[in-house]
A and B are shown apart, each in its own frame.
Chain A
Amino acid sequence: MTPLRTSHVYYYAAIVTLSVAAAATVGYGLIRREMLAANDFFLNVESKEMLSRLVDTSAKATPDDVNHALRQHAEDDSVVFYFNVHSADGKELFRSHNLKGNELPMLPVGQTKRTLELDGFGLMRVAQFDTPVGPMEIAISLKNFRRVNESFFLVMLGGLPMIALFSILVGMRLRRSTLKPVLMMQATASHINASNLSERVPVPRGDGEMAGLARLLNQMFDRLENSFKQIKRFTADTSHELMTPLSVIRLHAERMRNEPASPEHVRQSLDEQLQEVAHLTETLEKLMVLTKADSSVLPLDFKSSSTSDFILNFAEDTQLLAEDKERRFAVVRNDAAEASFDHGWIRQVLLNLFSNALRFSPPHGVISLHSKCENGQWTVEVWDEGTGVPSDRIGELFQRFSQINPSSQPRSGSGLGLAICKSIVELHHGTITSRNRTDRSGFVVAFSLPLNRKKN
């Protein structure tokens, strides 16, 4: 989420900077136009001065005449203005001293003012006026104008990054203060789970949107807590109501079973009864686990650890269990990576898959375990060499009370084992699948859990 929120700040800073840049550009254009207009105004005024000195001069005036009429004034204003007069046929009639050897360029017909670069003088504004003797060019240096322009440009060049930086800083600060209540709510909300549902997100002061949002979240948590409590009370009450009478049955049956005076047939029937009690207990406990898992009130203790260590630890026990049942067990592949999961429950899932495989394996059959860590997923597969499952019934496997056991096996499980595995795996944000083997007869059950994301 962080990049998104930070990108908002950059977005904001970019808008501020671009706006300033746009405003500056427009301002620059306006200032430039104003300054040129001011120069043009001076040129116009000056041209009037000069023209007034030329009114009495005829069109046939000699350079001397023009010189006589203009020299004095041209000298007076030579700090600012440059003058050049030509006759109608293009002969130069007058040139102010400050121009030295240079001539002011004649402007093309129809153009009266122009900004141009003149060797030795820099940027000039040249205006052309018609006089009785011919066209007169008056020029004014734009040195100051240029300096102002350059300073403006430099200020903008240095200023814009500063503005960008400043708006990022302000933006970050703004973001932090705006997001603070949201982040606080997020932090609290994210760690509220089945085990601490009574916590609530902090409500910011006032009646703003944030406070409203916080109150809404809290109301939602109230309802959630209530329904969680109901599930918990239901499982607690059900357990109590069923397990207490089961205890009485078990205690009496065991007592009679161990009575030396009990005849053999009584013992046998008591053994049967005890087996049924055990089976009923197991089924009830599994139903309770499923009820809790369904409503996410099952407490899970996520711990990060190495998948290969976990598998090795598990294999140590299964090796022995397999030997005890005269089956073989092999860890074919065991990749190492880090994953976070509840060790007790995932071990229980694996043990369940292994027990199923053991039950369906022929004598001396091999049960193999493949633990792969690829593409951010930890996949564990348990392969057996049994008869497999009819392909049209594979879908039923994870349903509750599904019994797809070989007919030779009487009721051998509760029919809830795989359903529990599915719930546990799903509570870990994982998936569980099954398929028949294609290389030989046999069955494969596989579950995948997300691996920890690598920290770079």
Chain B
Amino acid sequence: MKVLLVEDDRKLGQFVRNGLEEVAYTTVWVRNCAEAREAARQGKFDVIILDIGLPDGNGLDLLTEWRERQFATYVLILSARHEVDDRISGLNLGADDYLAKPFSFGELLARIRSLVRRNATNKKTVLEHRGIRIDLLTREVTLDGAPVRLTQREFALLEFFLSHPGRVLTRTQIAEKIWDSHFDMETNLVDVYVAKLRNKFRRSAEKEPLFQTLRGVGYKLA
């Protein structure tokens, strides 16, 4: 996995590069638009992490330039929320994801992994995982063959988990997906819903819990 990190802040850039290299991602760190342009031209990257406020220009302009030239690498925008008008405008310009500063490293990693595996998402209409079975067409949910009644939101959340088994889904990712919310909800709504799902899919003797909590990051369907 090869990552291009475009970030002008020395300390932040250093931390992110070191962190990525610790998980064995080859990381090229550049600190302005000109270097980013050059690096993108020469190397082949899986993901570009792009800051918006750069000393010699705006990251969004760089992104527009790349997209106009059909440059298809996944781009994750990393910026303070109000640097872009809202999250949508970043995505409209062709960014694949957006992460607001200050972020946690776990969230950044989860997002990068989501991006890279994005094209692997299946188009199945029935999802199954450890005895849970959901039919996206009839909206029927069963646990070991027994029907489970879910509200619309619970269903959407379960579908999100089952589409990404074994992957970390962060609270913000879940909030964005289920509530289409582009700002902090100030509530533990995501946790409450995951707890609901947990209760509905609890088996008496299970060694490994289905919905695992990853402290400070989010949840994972084990």
The chain A residues found within 8 Å of chain B, CB to CB, are 195, 232, 235-240, 242-252, 254-255, 257-258, 277, 281-282, 285, 288, 292, 299, 316-317, 320-321, 324, 344, 347-348, 351-352, 355, 417
Q: B207 within 8 Å of A by Cβ?
A: no
Quick check: which of B69-77, B161-169, B185-193 contacts chain A, the rest being far away? B185-193
Shortest CB distance A398–B (Å):
18
Shortest CB distance B209–A (Å):
19
Q: List 11 A-B contacts (CB under 8 A).
A: A239-B79, A240-B79, A246-B101, A249-B102, A281-B102, A285-B82, A285-B183, A317-B179, A320-B192, A344-B183, A352-B186
Residues of B contacting A195 in the complex (Cβ-Cβ under 8 angstroms): 85
**Whole-angstrom CA separation of A248 from B12 in the bound complex:** 5
Residues of A contacting B138 in the complex (Cβ-Cβ under 8 angstroms): none
**Whole-angstrom CA separation of A422 from B99 in the bound complex:** 28
Q: A244-B101, A277-B102 are in contact. Are A317 and B189 (CB under 8 A)?
A: yes
Residues of A contacting B189 in the complex (Cβ-Cβ under 8 angstroms): 317, 320-321
* 0 or 1 for each of B43-55: is its CB under 8 Å from A? (1 = yes): 0000000001100
For the residues of A in contact with B, the DSSP-based class is: helix
**Whole-angstrom CA separation of A282 from B153 in the bound complex:** 26
Shortest CB distance B205–A (Å):
27
The 5 closest A-B pairs by CB, nearest first: A239-B80, A243-B80, A243-B101, A247-B102, A240-B53
When C-beta atoms are compared, the residue in chain B nearest to A232 turns out to be B85
Shortest CB distance A264–B (Å):
15
Residues of A contacting B38 in the complex (Cβ-Cβ under 8 angstroms): none
CB of A316 within 8 A of CB of B102, answer no
Residues of A contacting B81 in the complex (Cβ-Cβ under 8 angstroms): 239, 243, 285, 288
When C-beta atoms are compared, the residue in chain B nearest to A235 turns out to be B82
Residues of A contacting B104 in the complex (Cβ-Cβ under 8 angstroms): 250-251, 254
For the residues of B in contact with A, the DSSP-based class is: mixed
CB of A285 within 8 A of CB of B184, answer yes
When C-beta atoms are compared, the residue in chain A nearest to B89 turns out to be A299
Q: B136 within 8 Å of A by Cβ?
A: no
CB of A321 within 8 A of CB of B187, answer yes
Q: B145 within 8 Å of A by Cβ?
A: no
CB of A240 within 8 A of CB of B52, answer yes
When C-beta atoms are compared, the residue in chain A nearest to B180 turns out to be A344
CB of A246 within 8 A of CB of B186, answer no
CB of B182 within 8 A of CB of A240, answer no
CB of A246 within 8 A of CB of B181, answer no
Residues of A contacting B16 in the complex (Cβ-Cβ under 8 angstroms): 251
Known: A240-B80, A317-B179, A321-B192; 17 extra A-B contacts, CB below 8 A, are A195-B85, A236-B80, A239-B83, A244-B9, A244-B80, A247-B12, A251-B12, A251-B16, A251-B19, A251-B104, A251-B105, A254-B106, A285-B183, A316-B151, A324-B188, A324-B195, A351-B186
The listed residue (B11, B52, B102, B182) touching A344 by CB distance below 8 A is B182
CB of A252 within 8 A of CB of B15, answer yes
Residues of A contacting B19 in the complex (Cβ-Cβ under 8 angstroms): 251, 255
CB of A246 within 8 A of CB of B52, answer no
**Whole-angstrom CA separation of A352 from B187 in the bound complex:** 9
Contacts of B190-205 to chain A: CB distance below 8 A: 192-193, 195-196
Shortest CB distance A384–B (Å):
16
Residues of B contacting A282 in the complex (Cβ-Cβ under 8 angstroms): 184, 186
Of A282, A316, A321, A347, chain B has the most CB atoms within 10 Å of the CB of A321
Q: B86 within 8 Å of A by Cβ?
A: yes
Shortest CB distance A105–B (Å):
97
When C-beta atoms are compared, the residue in chain A nearest to B217 turns out to be A254
The listed residue (A243, A251, A299) touching B86 by CB distance below 8 A is A299
CB of A248 within 8 A of CB of B82, answer no
The listed residue (B11, B153, B183, B186) touching A248 by CB distance below 8 A is B11
Shortest CB distance B35–A (Å):
18
When C-beta atoms are compared, the residue in chain A nearest to B103 turns out to be A247
The listed residue (A245, A247, A317) touching B153 by CB distance below 8 A is A317
Shortest CB distance B108–A (Å):
9
**Whole-angstrom CA separation of A324 from B103 in the bound complex:** 27
CB of B187 within 8 A of CB of A292, answer no
CB of B187 within 8 A of CB of A250, answer no
Residues of A contacting B152 in the complex (Cβ-Cβ under 8 angstroms): 316
Of B106, B183, B188, chain A has the most CB atoms within 10 Å of the CB of B183
Residues of A contacting B86 in the complex (Cβ-Cβ under 8 angstroms): 299
Residues of A contacting B15 in the complex (Cβ-Cβ under 8 angstroms): 248, 251-252
CB of A246 within 8 A of CB of B102, answer yes
Q: A317-B189, A320-B193 are in contact. Are A299 and B181 (CB under 8 A)?
A: no
Residues of B contacting A237 in the complex (Cβ-Cβ under 8 angstroms): 53
**Whole-angstrom CA separation of A251 from B52 in the bound complex:** 19
The listed residue (A236, A242, A249, A351) touching B187 by CB distance below 8 A is A351
The listed residue (B12, B79, B179, B187) touching A355 by CB distance below 8 A is B187
When C-beta atoms are compared, the residue in chain B nearest to A236 turns out to be B83
Residues of A contacting B53 in the complex (Cβ-Cβ under 8 angstroms): 236-237, 240
* 0 or 1 for each of B128-170: is its CB under 8 Å from A? (1 = yes): 0000000000000000000000011100000000000000000
